[in-house]
Amino acid sequence: MSITEEQLEEMLSRYPDKVKKNRKKHLILKNSAEACQQIEANTRTIPGIISQRGCAYAGCKGVVVGPIKDMVHIVHGPVGCSYYAWGTRRNKARADDTTPPEKVFTPLCFTTDMQESDIVFGGDKKLAKMIDQVVEIFHPRAVSICATCPVGLIGDDINAVAKAAEERHGIQVLSFNCEGYKGVSQSAGHHIANNNLMEHVIGKGTAEKNPDDYVINILGEYNIGGDGWELERILKDIGYTLNCIMTGDASYEKIRNLHIADLNLVQCHRSINYIAEMMETKYGIPWLKVNFIGVTATMASLREIAQCFNDEKLIERTEMVIARELARVTPALEQYRKICQGKTAFIFVGGSRSHHYQALLRDLGMDVVVAGYEFAHRDDYEGRQVIPTIKSDADSKNIPELHPTPDEELYQEAHVHLKMSKEKYDELSSRIAFNSYQGMIPEMKDGEVILDDANHHEVEELIRMIKPDLFFSGVRDKYIVHKMGVPAKQMHSYDYSGPYAGFNGSLIFAEDVANALVTPAWKLVTAPWEDQNRSRSDSNA
Ligand code: CFN
């Protein structure tokens, strides 16, 4: 069901005038007649409003730095800051040829557990002692210190503690002044993390690039539910050398050698664009925005990457892998599509997924009637980027054999499953290419709602007015929407599912969505506040 200006106006009319004026700029109806529809983003949340946003510490430690697997990340602050962020993001990591299992610290949680006496007398001695213990017990390759709010308030000098610890132990100790209150959201924390890693870690390694390889990094991919591993599978099959996924399942050493790539792919632009841009300036490495969420978007992104290198062999191999994958996943996807077709979705996530998942939901035939971001900036809502061209001597490049060996048979099979001729496939392919990154607002239809920094009142009202078939958001608003009789999926950690990226991920996502849509449970739900027979004593029982 679509929504009108009048309905939006009515929803906003509950606010005091000043608040209404502010929120009006963050809540707009898509109208393609307006040449440049503008939304206000990345501004301070109105005090007292229950925002869905996180803090700078969440963006720095939780998002960018935390997934580096062979470092110990010490949270300097009261225990709650680390405990409530422990394992909840589901950024997966495992041992690999350069990182043995005893050096993978991702499942662990380290904190100085500041107490009242530390607040009064300072927590720096406790922090220094903890670094000594961590080095002695765990032998990490490097250590990070992430500060939470009280550290900035009492003025503990974590930078001096880090410097002294580096001298004592001979390993790098990075200090992040990412106190939660900095900036207007977790976006400030991304920036703090990016700057520090760029200045002190990236480019410090001594690995050398093999000039015969096409070497790429994926920036802004955090391996939630194993997404990064699925992308690794596809990109390696095509013949790329994947230098580093930043920072999902990444090691400290790989990040030190991030600079030896030919191209940086940027999956989550919001959290990592600073590094992409700084690497372009410092090392001349171009970057390309990609979207590996959904079959169509993945295909388009793969084609764009091949296009950057402009090598016929690579372009052909890309088509082979796409055809093989389509042959595998399309039949099952078609079955789920029958269930999902025509259903509506409301999606509200951090700073990049609301756009990325639009592509996957469209693949399933669903309409995204409301889309928004917690903390995106204007450029995440708008526009796209020009595809860079990389000068390379294609003849000398090494593209290893594909396993399992691709063949004409598989390629043909793909066309059979798609029920189309080779000509049709080629035509479709050319149409899909170069369409993956239009931007969130340009890809929406007239009458759909764009929502920035939503709060509980607006989410509840929009759910009531629009009654979407599915709500995709976070844990804070998931359960109230359940109680309103609408199934809700956690789009940050994918509840307990995933991967959702790439071809295999599309299939898992489609299955999860179809399950949510067909379960009869939601029709049986009566919200406690709608149950007239429920007495006060019942609810207290
Ligand atoms: S994994 Fe990413 S994709 S990094 Fe970012 S902007 Fe968060 S933790 Mo939650 S799911 Fe979300 Fe994005 Fe980039 Fe995740 S949409 S809010 S800070 N995010």
**What domains can be seen in the chain, in order of their start residue?**
56-201 (3.40.50.1980), 215-333+386-430 (3.40.50.12380)
* Per-residue pLDDT, 504: 97
**Which of 190, 256, 317, 356 is labelled catalytic?**
190
**Beta pairing class for 449-452 and 27-29:** antiparallel
Tokens of 293: 């969420």
Q: Which are the contacts of 351, defined by CB distance < 8 A and separation ≥ 6?
A: 187, 268, 270, 271, 373, 374, 375, 376, 377, 380
**Which of 41, 55, 56, 60 is labelled catalytic?**
55
Of the pLDDT bands very low, low, confident and very high (cuts 50, 70, 90), residue 413 is low
Mutate to test the pocket of ligand 1, among 231, 273, 353, 373 (most ligand atoms within 8 A of CB): 353
Give mean pLDDT, residues 186-214: 97
Q: Taking all residues of the chain, what is their mean pLDDT, rounded to a whole number?
A: 91
268 is an active site residue: no
Q: What is the pTM of this model?
A: 0.94
* Per-residue pLDDT, 535: 58
Tell me which H or E stretch contains 280: helix 269-283
Which atom belonging to ligand 1 lies closest to the Cα atom of 270? Answer: 6
| Residues pairing with 190 in the sheet | none
Neighbouring C-beta atoms of residue 38, cutoff 10 Å = 12
**Which of 89, 259, 353, 356 is labelled catalytic?**
89
CA distance 71 to 188: 22
Tell which wins on pLDDT, 439 or 46: 46
Give mean pLDDT, residues 152-160: 97
Q: Where are the alpha helices (DSSP H) in 310-455?
A: 312-340, 353-363, 378-381, 408-417, 422-432
pLDDT of 24 over the 90 cut: yes
pLDDT of 417 over the 60 cut: no
Burial 183-215 (b: 16+ CB within 10 A, else e): bbbbbbbbbbbbebbbeebbbebeeeeeeebbb
Least confident of 47-61, 193-207, 377-391, 416-430: 416-430
- Closest alpha carbon to 381 in 434, 441, 325, 432: 441
CA of 222 to the centre of ligand 1 (A): 9
Percent of residues, the chain, with pLDDT higher than 70: 91
Alpha carbon nearest to ligand 1 atom 4, residue = 271
Q: Nearest-5° angle of CA 500, CA 286, CA 141?
A: 65
* Per-residue pLDDT, 433: 44
Least confident of 62-76, 104-118, 256-270, 526-540: 526-540
Burial 58-82 (b: 16+ CB within 10 A, else e): bbbbbbbbbbbbbbbbbbbbbeebb
Alpha carbon nearest to ligand 1 atom 11, residue = 350
Pocket of ligand 1 (CB under 6 A): 59, 63, 89, 186, 220, 222, 224, 268, 270-271, 349-353, 492
Of the pLDDT bands very low, low, confident and very high (cuts 50, 70, 90), residue 1 is low
- Closest alpha carbon to 493 in 160, 127, 197, 85: 85
Tokens of 429: 């392919």
Give mean pLDDT, residues 154-182: 98
* Per-residue pLDDT, 169: 98
Of the pLDDT bands very low, low, confident and very high (cuts 50, 70, 90), residue 12 is very high
Q: Nearest-5° angle of CA 118, CA 124, CA 127?
A: 95
* Per-residue pLDDT, 34: 84
Q: Nearest-5° angle of CA 116, CA 117, CA 123?
A: 100
CA distance 75 to 79: 8
Give mean pLDDT, residues 462-477: 95
CA distance 133 to 127: 10
CA of 485 to the centre of ligand 1 (A): 26
pLDDT of 209 over the 90 cut: yes
Percent of residues, the chain, with pLDDT higher than 90: 78
Backbone phi, then psi, for 17, in 5-degree steps? -50, -45
Tell which wins on pLDDT, 326 or 433: 326
Alpha carbon nearest to ligand 1 atom 10, residue = 492
Instruction: Check: CB of residue 463 under 8 Å from CB of residue 471.
Output: yes
173 exposure class (CB count in 10 Å sphere: 0-12, 13-18, 19+): buried
CA distance 378 to 257: 31
CA of 377 to the centre of ligand 1 (A): 13
For the chain, state the CA radius of gyration. Answer: 24
CA distance 31 to 429: 29
* Per-residue pLDDT, 36: 72
pLDDT of 18 over the 80 cut: yes
ipTM higher than 0.85?
yes
H and E: helices and strands count for the chain: 22, 14
Q: Where are the beta strands (DSSP E) in 379-530?
A: 449-452, 470-473, 488-490
**Which of 58, 162, 188, 501 is labelled catalytic?**
58
Measured CA to CA in angstroms, residue 131 lies from 128, 162, 175 at distances of 5, 9, 12
